[in-house]
Structure 1
Amino acid sequence: MLILNKLTILRDKTYHFQSVIHLNRNLYKKSIQPKPVFFNKVKVTSHSSCRHKINSFSTISKMSLKHLGAGSECPPKSDEKKLRLYSMEYCPFVHRVRLVLRAKNLDFETVNINLINKPEWLFKLHPEGKVPALEIGDKVIVESLDICNYLDQEYPNPPLYPSDPTQKEKDIALFDVIGKLHGNFIDLVLKKETKTPQEWKNIFMPNLTKLNDELKQRGTTYFGGETPGMLDYVLWPWAERAGTVVIVLGEKLPLESNELEVIRKWRKTMQEHPVVAGIYHGPEKFYKSVQIKVGELPPDYDAI
């Protein structure tokens, strides 16, 4: 995990940090560590990055639901001690963080970013100008999994990982499976490859089957037991967006009624959980954000 303290960007495009604090990375197995990206001597891990409703799970100050772009000013903080999430409303990686914040009933404020027309000040928070980024006082944590793990360490109630170390390692190892599904999903949604629904099914099935069989073996409602855990929240953004496949292909993947029964039931149950339901957008709005990304729609996330 990286915490960045008062990042300064020099105009010669060289990035410098006044301090970098490396926290415990034992949350990840070495076999699934992401490949590091280096900005001079500063390491930023390359996990994928990219309106809240006030509810009983978290108190959210609506600093800027409008997506701020170039030429805007960063809104002043209402409270230096309050968590601030730099976000894009439809980003699945931000979605993970929002779910964890809600699950832990944390007070935070949100600043949404136009990722096509990024504000200049964003690069003072993240050297690549990405979201999510979580600001705590004068420190900034980047990358969705690092943020989620930081929140689970600093705010341990409710715990989102199993207490058993072996089971925890097993959950973390499944992040790699989710990552592979994400890669396949992006290939489909961005139309990087032209395949039939059956061909796409054949690509998705091995990793979907791993998740289905794992949950079946556990015999619980969620991967986290009878309440969602970290694995559920890390997986959910892709489950919520699964309907995008139908939008792109014009039809569902040809699944038999007895295929992936457990994970399909999990998806329905998760959608009804209050932590998830309170910020549910669905596949249609997500796909509009994809169309913005590829230039098929004007870069106005607020119009979605």
Structure 2
Amino acid sequence: MDSSAPSIATPNVAPLTLVSHALCPYVQRAAIVLAEKGLPFERRDIDLAAKPDWFLKISPLGKTPVLLVGDEAIFESAVICEYLDETTPARLHPADALQRARHRSWIEFGSALLNLIGAFYNAGDEQALNARAAEIHTRFAQIESALGDGPFFAGPHFSLVDAVFGPVFRYFDVLDRIADFGFWTGLPKLQRWRQALAARPSVLGAVHADYPERLHRFLQARGSALSRRMMSVAASDRA
């Protein structure tokens, strides 16, 4: 590795280094779990548009996050989160095998939802943008039907599912300021869950303080229907 690479510690010490990107929601999952477990770690952001050689050596898929544990590199957020949960106390996954499988199913649902959010902000025209917004609402309604009394997915106990959906909902802190796409209509349980996650210290601390501004710039630069909406809103604000 070159001089800008994270240092690899001796196996006996094995400090944790989270190789990340400032906007990546999958990185946020790992950062949330690390915080929930009270584990100290170094965070090293990289530019995914100019991936350094040392990163490509430890990330076979060229994606973030990667967790360095001593001289071992673990990639893929679900694997990282489960490793952290299995090797430290205060488990975030249910003890019951069936409930654990159910939670894993909703984690996969959360990943699919992130793909849909990407399709939304990359939509090329208004028709596609509105169609993706309606799909997001449909997916949100499915989650609504799975929620109990809260405040978290599994009731009073924060779980890995919560660590996955905190970053999902964070997108909407910015998206909701652009226009009312009807994402939350008729979904009171989901809104309460979103609010509970937004107030959780581990979720708050999983991004840099300027995350909303960074995300706003990222969305505005997409050249998409949403980008054009954002420019229209900005022009109206200046008028």
- TM-score, normalization by structure 2: 0.81
| 1:180 and 2:112 matched | yes
Cα deviation code 1:66-95 (max 9, x no counterpart): xxxxx8631434665101111112211100
2:131 to 199, 204, 209: 199
Residue 265 (structure 1) aligns with: 192
* Greater percentage in helix: 2
SS of aligned partner of 2:14: coil
| 1:133 and 2:66 matched | yes
| Alpha-carbon distance change, 151 to 271 in structure 1, aligned in 2, over 3 angstroms | same
Alpha-carbon deviation of 1:154?
1.0
Cα deviation code 1:138-195 (max 9, x no counterpart): 211100111001111111x211111222211111111232233212100111235543
Say what the alpha-carbon RMSD is for the aligned residues: 2.7
Structure 1 residue runs of 4 or more that deviate by more than 6 Å after TM superposition: none
1-side partners of 2:49 and 2:175: how far apart? 23
| Alpha-carbon distance change, 201 to 117 in structure 1, aligned in 2, over 3 angstroms | closer
Residue 221 (structure 1) aligns with: 151
Alpha-carbon deviation of 1:208?
0.8
Comparing 95-104 and 177-186, the one that deviates more: 177-186
Gaps of 5+ in 1: 1-7, 9-70, 297-304
| Alpha-carbon distance change, 75 to 187 in structure 1, aligned in 2, over 3 angstroms | same
* Greater percentage in strand: 1
Residue 169 (structure 2) aligns with: 239
2-side partners of 1:135 and 1:170: how far apart? 29
2-side partners of 1:224 and 1:102: how far apart? 19
Q: How many residues align?
A: 220
Residue 53 (structure 2) aligns with: 120
Structure with the bigger RCO (C-alpha within 8 Å, sep 6+) is 2
Residue 90 (structure 1) aligns with: 23
Residue type at the aligned position of 1:287: H
1-side partners of 2:123 and 2:52: how far apart? 28
Identity %: 25
Alpha-carbon deviation of 1:289?
3.9
